[in-house]
Amino acid sequence: MPNSKFFIYLLVMAGVTYLVRMIPMALIKKKIKNRFVLSFLHYIPYAVLSVMTVPACFYATDSPVTAAVGFIIAVIAAFFERSLIQVAALSCAGVLITELIIMLIK
Amino acid sequence: MTEVNSFKKGLKDGIPICLGYFSVSFAFGIFAVENGLTVFQATILSLVNLTSAGQLAGVPIITGGTLPELALSQLIINSRYSLMSVSLSQKLSHNAKLRDKLLISYANTDEIFAVAVSQKGDVGKRYMWGLIMLPVIGWTSGTFIGAVAGNILPAMVTAALGLAIYGMFVAIVVPVAKKEKATAFCVAIAIALSCAFKYVPVLTKVPTGFTVIICSVIAAVILAVVAPIKAEEEVTEDAQQ
């Protein structure tokens, strides 16, 4: 895409992302006490990541079948609390192996 | 009060984060180029934003959405950082002046935050500089190499790497959902809504950026009302992410 348009979008995106991180750190010195706000902030990361993952992840590879295998592997690995790299690597490996198996069968 | 302020220790603690970021941002680089960004654009996007979920949601909006959609989606998706910044600001030692905070807050990611607040006692600016350096390099260079290599690698491999970022999200969500019933419910509601916006005829017309906002805010608000957390737990729970 053209740089002229891209940089306007980049400025807005990076600006918002930075201000969200910077303003609380620079300005707020006391702890937030409002229980609703605290609760909302506690749940929002998991809500966001879940919304972004399902169902989008099933379209992230060449076929929903391979993606589903990778996703299930990721959930199992995460359930047993493997590290970030391990979960990501195992799920990709699962996709790759499933792709190979499908290729062999066809 | 003890204080952790060694640049060297910061660097060392940043190594595992750097490796994780490199592999995930590699996949992001491929994703960004597939969505129409140039190698240069993908790389600078990673350098200035330094956020996985925000960037993943942001790229399709940059190429096909509007500025308000972009701003609002980043605000919601990245709102979790505001809380982390509040709690990190209370962990920083007095040697961190405003100008240091302006830099440190730029790199307050889930993982950097988690490592910083898990230190015993206060953390100084020199430690934070060290901790930040390698993950930023890893995230940016991973994006660059992914963006370049996306065309070189076999299609089969790039397709498989497409799942890497989602794998990272799963790695963050599942362990917490396993321990906290309320979070598991929140995840279930969020997923149900997200699927509805993907498959229910009228709802599919809503732009993706807004879908993320609507679904996640509804799920988080429901749980904040039904199962509010105890105020004290918040900081420590976030630290364990």
B33 at A interface, C-beta within 8 A: no
Query: Which residue from B160, B74, B128, B36 is spatially nearest to A19, judged by alpha carbons?
Result: B74
Q: Is residue B213 part of a domain?
A: no
Tokens representing B60 are: 């399709």
Q: Is residue B37 part of a domain?
A: yes
Task: Answer whether A91 sits within 8 Å of B170, measured CB to CB.
Answer: yes
Q: Is B76 helix (H, G, I), strand (E, B) or coil?
A: helix
Lowest mean pLDDT among A62-66, A101-105, B193-197, B234-238: B234-238
Task: Answer whether A1 sits within 8 Å of B63, measured CB to CB.
Answer: yes
Q: Locate the chain B residue with the closest alpha carbon to A61.
A: B159
Residues in CB range of B193: below 8 A, 6 or more apart: A51, B214, B215, B218, B219
pLDDT at A30: 67
Q: Is residue B223 part of a domain?
A: no
User: Is residue A79 within 8 Å of B154, Cβ to Cβ?
Assistant: no
User: Is residue A46 within 8 Å of B223, Cβ to Cβ?
Assistant: no
User: Is residue B186 within 8 Å of B224, Cβ to Cβ?
Assistant: no
User: Is residue A76 within 8 Å of B170, Cβ to Cβ?
Assistant: no
Chain A 22-41, residues with CB within 8 Å of chain B CB atoms? 22-26, 28-29, 31-33, 35-36, 38-41
Chain B 106-145, residues with CB within 8 Å of chain A CB atoms? 106, 108, 110-111
Task: Choose among B16, B85, B163: nearest Cβ to A60.
Answer: B163
Distance, in Å, from the CA atom of B74 to the CA atom of B51, rounded to the nearest integer, reads 10
- Beta-strand relationship, B122-123 and B3-4: parallel
What is the domain extent for residue B124?
3-172
Question: In this structure, what DSSP letter does residue A31 have?
Answer: P
Q: Is residue B52 part of a domain?
A: yes
Q: Locate the chain A residue with the closest alpha carbon to B109.
A: A21
Task: Choose among A48, A90, A92: nearest Cβ to B216.
Answer: A48
Q: Which of B113, B169, B232 to mutate against chain A (most A CBs within 10 Å)?
A: B169
Tokens representing B190 are: 């969020």
Q: Is residue B122 part of a domain?
A: yes
Task: Answer whether A84 sits within 8 Å of B101, measured CB to CB.
Answer: no
A5-59 pLDDT tens trace: 999 999 999 999 999 999 989 887 666 778 998 888 788 888 988 998 999 999 9
Query: B172 contacts in A (CB within 8 Å)?
Result: 45-46, 49, 84
- Is residue B184 classed exposed, middle or buried when 0-12, 13-18 and 19+ CB atoms within 10 A define those classes? middle
Residues in CB range of B142: below 8 A, 6 or more apart: B21, B22, B23, B24, B25, B26, B28, B29, B46
B171 at A interface, C-beta within 8 A: yes
C-beta neighbour count of B86 within 10 angstroms: 21
- In chain B, the number of structural domains is 1
Length of chain A, in residues: 106
Task: Choose among B41, B170, B199: nearest Cβ to A75.
Answer: B170
Q: Is residue B198 part of a domain?
A: no
Q: Is B22 helix (H, G, I), strand (E, B) or coil?
A: helix
User: Is residue B119 within 8 Å of B140, Cβ to Cβ?
Assistant: no
pLDDT at A17: 97
Query: B77 contacts in A (CB within 8 Å)?
Result: 48, 52
- Is residue B8 classed exposed, middle or buried when 0-12, 13-18 and 19+ CB atoms within 10 A define those classes? exposed
Closest CA–CA distance from residue B158 to any residue of chain A (Å): 8
Task: Choose among B36, B164, B193: nearest Cβ to A92.
Answer: B164
Q: Is B4 helix (H, G, I), strand (E, B) or coil?
A: strand
Residues in CB range of B237: below 8 A, 6 or more apart: A42, B176, B229
Q: Which of B92, B110, B170, B237 to mutate against chain A (most A CBs within 10 Å)?
A: B170
Q: Is residue B108 part of a domain?
A: yes
Q: Which of B25, B163, B180 to mutate against chain A (most A CBs within 10 Å)?
A: B163
Task: Name all contacts of A97-105 with Cβ < 8 Å and 24+ positions apart.
Answer: A98/A65, A98/A66, A98/A69, A98/A70, A99/A61, A99/A62, A99/A66, A99/B156, A99/B159, A99/B160, A100/B156, A102/A63, A102/A65, A102/A66
Q: Name the H helices within chain A.
A: 3-27, 35-53, 64-79, 84-105
Per-residue pLDDT of chain B (241 residues; tens, 9 = 90+): 688 999 999 998 888 788 888 888 999 999 999 999 999 999 999 999 999 889 999 999 999 999 999 999 999 888 878 878 887 887 888 888 899 999 999 999 988 887 887 788 889 999 999 999 999 999 999 999 999 998 788 888 888 888 888 888 898 899 999 999 999 999 999 999 999 999 999 999 887 777 888 898 999 999 999 999 885 544 444 444 4
Q: Is residue B157 part of a domain?
A: yes
B196 at A interface, C-beta within 8 A: no
Query: B88 contacts in A (CB within 8 Å)?
Result: 25
- Is residue B149 classed exposed, middle or buried when 0-12, 13-18 and 19+ CB atoms within 10 A define those classes? middle
